[in-house]
Structure 1
Amino acid sequence: MTVQDSAAGPADGAALAAFTAEWEAWHRRQQAALADAHGFLAITGQHWLTADPQRFPDAPGAWSTGEHGVTVVLDDGEELVVDGTAVRGRHSFGVIPERGGVNAVWQDAVIEVARRGGQDLVRPRHPGHPLRTSFSGTPAYAPDPRWVLTGRYTPFAEPQPTTVGAAVEGLEHVYDAPGRIEFTLGGREVGVTAFNGGSPGSLLVLFTDATSGLTTYAAVRSLRVEAPDPDGRVVLDFNRAANLPCAYTAFATCPLPPAGNRLPVAIEAGEKIPHERAA
């Protein structure tokens, strides 16, 4: 099967209005999640833990990690709430799995304890952080049905462990890639490696294109793809190409695209460079 650019899409005014309204609702949800009181815009620091206890200006306690996982030692008068229970003194978070995390509440902040790229870290999230309070939304291209494409998903015989870089220099992520998506883009046959999405059967594509670093964030954009139909057909709506948190803050460990996911065409759709980075 040869995959072609999709010609299907809203053709009349009412359908186009509905298409645009659906996109606008999606974009509002994106912005609301990003600007949540304890979302990525609220992060005030990204502190990598070592065996030596360290104190940080935006979190209580002295933090360390070792064979038995992450530990914090709280001074008199300091308190965290973990899973609804107040803890004082010494508290062990145990061994945190890769890409896992625990949130501990401190006053109006959340202290994220996580593991990324084989290393433990602490990321305090304060609602009053200026990056969050001054957030005015993300610019984006106007939604256009011509950027809704069809593709063919082909699963690998076995998921393939795929190592990618990260927004943090020297850090790497390893994901199991279940397959590839092939489609036609700007008259060219292209293919991208797909990772598992957030819901059963869905897929996630990390990519750059010819707009990257010009009108869109240079390092990566992401596209969520619904589960393939029984024939392997998928829909790629590049109007919903989204920034990852690293587009807004240096305190993120976002994965970068696999080498083969650098598309040779300018995809003038989806989210653009955030105002925070453009400055």
Structure 2
Amino acid sequence: MPTESTAAEYEAWRESRWEEIAGPQGKAGVVQLATISGSNQTVEGVPGHWNTNGSGGLAFTAAGADGVSLDGRPVDGTVALEVGSELKFPGERSGIISGGGGTHGLVVRAPAAAPLAGLREIAVYPVDPDYIVEAEYRRTPGRVVEVGRLTDPPSRQILPAPADLVFDLKGERYSLTVIESLPGQLLVVFTDATSGSETPEIGRWVVLPSAEEGTVRVDFNRVVLPLHAFSPAFPCPLAPEGNHLPVPVRAGERTPVYNASNGANDS
């Protein structure tokens, strides 16, 4: 059994994870992600036009009839946007600007989005200290792998694979490929014997801190579900070839649980 301090830390982690997914800025409320990198660009389902400029700025143009506001003021013409600017769109949707340097991101959220509105909890397995392992982080400089992306239609992408994670679990030795899905984001995307039955078929994630060659502590009790499990807007990576554990990993997040009226998986 976990110690009292470990149990408290685990519950604090679960609370922060729930806030990340279902809080006021929760990712389950994201309905669209778009990249803005051109001039006179439109985004499907969103009013107005977008323009980047040579200095890396971003401008947005809309008519008053489009019903868009910025910082509480209606937009009727062209306004300059910064990273963190929030636009309000009709239908209680909002858009947050990210990125910079000539390429910006637009994250569109809707508080009434079906996944967010119906999400009741994130089911987890009981905490099991046997799933806390000391793993060897073996760097593989310059290596890349091809992985699938959960886009519509599905796509594939070449990603850096800077290391292998080698560890013993339940008396057997395993090796999983670490990928850098976004700059600075180290992930181990894996499937196991629970995938497609007790847990999503698309696998789960071990999120790693920045690591150098050596030993890293891996707590599978903090394995998380891909963001795609909460919103199809996220083009999450699938597990690289070989990242399958032939044993059930009954630790960490298991599945989203929705209200029965939501019509989603309630297992």
**Alignment TM-score, normalising by the size of structure 1:** 0.72
- Among candidates 117, 136, 139, match of residue 155 of structure 1: 139
Aligned equivalents of 2:155, 2:96: Cα separation in 1: 19
CA drift of 1:234 comes to 1.2
Distance 1:52 1:190 in 2: 47
Structure 1 position 148, deviation (Å): 0.4
CA distance in 1 between counterparts of 2:206 and 2:183 reads 14
Check the 8 A contact 2:131/2:169 in 1, yes or no.
no
Query: Are 2:158 and 1:171 equivalent residues in the alignment?
Result: no
Q: Hey, what does 1:74 align to over in structure 2?
A: 62
Structure 1 residue corresponding to 2:30, chosen from 7, 32, 43: 43
Partner of 2:207: 224
Q: 2:254 aligns with which of 261, 266, 272?
A: 272
Matched to 2:14, the amino acid is: H
Q: Report the Cα distance in structure 2 between the residues aligned to 1:145 and 1:134, rounded to whole angstroms.
A: 32
Q: What SS does the aligned partner of 2:216 have?
A: strand
Tell me whether 1:29 sits opposite 2:49 in the alignment: no
**Is the Cα–Cα contact under 8 Å of residues 34 and 43 in structure 2 kept in the other structure?**
no
1:119-268 counterparts in 2 under 5 A?
A: 123-156=107-140, 158-168=141-151, 169-196=153-180, 203-228=186-211, 232-268=214-250
- Structure 2, unpaired ranges of 5+: 259-263
Q: Which has the higher strand share?
A: 2
- Distance (Å, rounded) in 2 between the aligned partners of 1:218 and 1:87: 43
Cα distance, 1:147 vs structure 2: 0.6
Q: Go from structure 1 to structure 2 and tell me whether the alpha carbon gap of 1:253 and 1:109 turns closer, same or farther (over 3 Å shift).
A: same
- 103 and 177 in structure 1: CA distance in 2 versus 1, 3 angstrom threshold: farther
Equivalent residue, structure 1, for 2:261? none
Contact 1:38/1:110 (<8 A) preserved: no
Task: Determine if the alignment matches structure 1 residue 89 to structure 2 residue 77.
Answer: yes
Aligned length: 250
Secondary structure of the residue that 2:3 maps to in structure 1? helix
Q: CA deviation at 1:199?
A: 10
User: Structure 1 residues 102 and 165, CA, compared in 2 at 3 Å: closer, same or farther?
Assistant: farther
Give the counterpart letter for 2:70 in structure 1: V
Cα pair 2:32 2:107 within 8 Å, conserved:
yes
Matching of residue 20 in structure 1 with residue 11 in structure 2: no
CA distance in 2, matches of 1:150, 1:85: 53
Residues of 1 paired with 2:63 and 2:174: CA distance?
57
CA distance in 2, matches of 1:249, 1:137: 14
Whole-angstrom distance in 2 between the partners of 1:207 and 1:85: 46
Distance across 1 between alignment mates of 2:104 and 2:97: 7
Aligned residues: CA RMSD: 3.8
The match for 1:97 is: none
The 8 Å contact of residues 37 and 126 in structure 1, kept in 2 or not, is answered as no
